[in-house]
Amino acid sequence: MREAFAAGRRVRFDPTAPRRGRTVPGGLLSSLLADLPPDGLRGAALRLVGAHVVGRFALEGLRVDHVVDLENCTFEEKPDLRMARLVGLRMRGCRVPGLLGRNLRVGSDLVLEAGFTSDDAVDLTDATVEGTLRLAGAVLHGGDDHALLAARIRLSGSLQAIALRATGEVRLRGANVGGSVHLGGARLVNAGQNALDATGVTIAGNLFCDAEGGRFAAEGRILLDGARVGGNVVFSGARLHANVTDRPVLVIPRGTADESAALVADRIRVEGNVELDDGFTSSGTVRLPNADIGGYLRLSGAEIGSREVVEELTDATGPEPAEPAGEVQRIPVALHADGIQVRGDLEARGAVNGGFRGGGARDTALRVHGQVRLVDAHVRGSASLSGVQLHGPGIDVLFADRLRVGGTLFLRNLRAHGSLRLQNAEIGSTLDCSGATLLAPRGRPDGTVKPSLDARVATVGKDLLCSHGFTAAGGVRVRLAEVGKMATFAGARLGGPGSGIALNAYGLTVQQLVLRLDAGQAPVGRVLLTRCAATAVFDGPGLWAATGGVEVEDFTFRSITSAPQVDVRTRLRWLREVQPDFAPGPYEQLAAVYRDGGEEELAQLVQVEKQRRRFAELGVAGRVWGFLQHWTVGYGYRPWLAIAWLTGFWLLGALWFLGHEMPKLNDDESPSWNAWLLAVDLLVPIVDLGQDGKWRFSGASQWISSALIAVGWILASTAAAGAARVLKRT
245 and 342 in a common domain: yes
Of 107, 129, 151, which residue is a domain's last?
Answer: 129
Higher pLDDT, 234 or 707: 234
pLDDT band of residue 40 (cuts 50, 70, 90) is low
pLDDT at residue 361 in the model:
46
Number of residues that make up the chain: 730
Residues paired with 257 in a beta bridge:
249, 331
696 and 572 in a common domain: no
| Assigned domain for 142 exists | no
Pick from 36-45, 176-185, 482-491, 522-531: least confident: 36-45
Instruction: Please list, in sequence order, all residues whose beta carbon lies within 8 angstroms of the beta carbon of residue 384, skipping any fewer than 6 positions away.
Output: 345, 346, 347, 348, 349, 408, 410
- Which sign, positive or negative, has the C-alpha torsion 322, 328, 330, 333? positive
| Host domain of residue 42 | 1-129
294 and 438 in a common domain: no
pLDDT band of residue 668 (cuts 50, 70, 90) is low
| Assigned domain for 322 exists | no
Return phi, psi of residue 192, to 5°.
80, 0
282 and 412 in a common domain: no
> Angle at Cα 484 formed by Cα 482 and Cα 486, nearest 5°?
100
Using CA atoms, how far apart are residues 367 and 374, in angstroms rounded to an integer?
16
Q: What is the mean pLDDT of residues 13-24?
A: 80
Pick from 49-53, 614-618, 695-699: least confident: 614-618
Q: Are 679 and 708 in contact (CB under 8 A)?
A: yes
- What's the mean per-residue pLDDT of the chain? 84
| Assigned domain for 192 exists | no
1 and 91 in a common domain: yes
Pick from 250-264, 337-351, 573-587, 700-714: least confident: 250-264
Q: Are 686 and 712 in contact (CB under 8 A)?
A: no
Q: Which residue type does 188 have? A: L
| Assigned domain for 325 exists | no
Q: What is the mean pLDDT of residues 396-405?
A: 95
The pairing of strands 486-488 and 526-528 is unpaired
Is residue 360 predicted with pLDDT exceeding 50?
no
Is residue 254 predicted with pLDDT exceeding 90?
no
pLDDT at residue 323 in the model:
42
410 and 489 in a common domain: yes
535 and 398 in a common domain: yes
Higher pLDDT, 45 or 689: 45
pLDDT at residue 447 in the model:
79
Q: Are 523 and 503 in contact (CB under 8 A)?
A: yes
pLDDT band of residue 677 (cuts 50, 70, 90) is confident
Number of folded domains in the chain? 5
Of 95, 111, 129, which residue is a domain's last?
Answer: 129
Is residue 180 predicted with pLDDT exceeding 80?
yes
591 and 514 in a common domain: no
DSSP string, 284-304: SEEE-TT-EESS-EE-TT-EE
Helix spans in 345-467 (H): 354-357
484 and 433 in a common domain: yes
pLDDT at residue 214 in the model:
84
Using CA atoms, how far apart are residues 602 and 600, in angstroms rounded to an integer?
5
Q: What is the mean pLDDT of residues 151-175?
A: 94
Higher pLDDT, 332 or 247: 332
| Assigned domain for 170 exists | no
pLDDT tens-digit readout, 522-557: 999 999 999 999 999 999 999 999 999 899 888 998
Q: What is the mean pLDDT of residues 496-518?
A: 93
pLDDT band of residue 41 (cuts 50, 70, 90) is low
Is residue 436 predicted with pLDDT exceeding 90?
yes
The most confident of 352-356, 561-565, 690-694, by mean pLDDT: 561-565
Is residue 39 predicted with pLDDT exceeding 80?
no
pLDDT at residue 256 in the model:
57
293 and 402 in a common domain: no
pLDDT at residue 331 in the model:
82
| Assigned domain for 156 exists | no
Is residue 91 predicted with pLDDT exceeding 90?
yes
pLDDT tens-digit readout, 189-230: 998 889 999 999 999 999 999 888 788 999 999 999 999 999
376 and 432 in a common domain: no
Return phi, psi of residue 630, to 5°.
-65, -45
pLDDT at residue 655 in the model:
80
| Assigned domain for 474 exists | yes
Using CA atoms, how far apart are residues 550 and 579, in angstroms rounded to an integer?
8
Q: Are 554 and 585 in contact (CB under 8 A)?
A: yes
Q: Are 293 and 344 in contact (CB under 8 A)?
A: yes
227 and 367 in a common domain: yes
pLDDT tens-digit readout, 301-325: 999 988 887 777 666 555 444 344 4
pLDDT tens-digit readout, 274-300: 999 999 999 989 999 999 999 999 999
| Assigned domain for 157 exists | no
pLDDT at residue 321 in the model:
43
- The distance from CA 363 to its chain's CA centroid, rounded to whole angstroms, is 21
The most confident of 197-206, 572-581, 587-596, by mean pLDDT: 197-206
Pick from 517-521, 618-622, 694-698: least confident: 618-622
Using CA atoms, how far apart are residues 241 and 218, in angstroms rounded to an integer?
6
pLDDT at residue 597 in the model:
75
Q: What is the mean pLDDT of residues 143-171?
A: 92
pLDDT at residue 612 in the model:
67
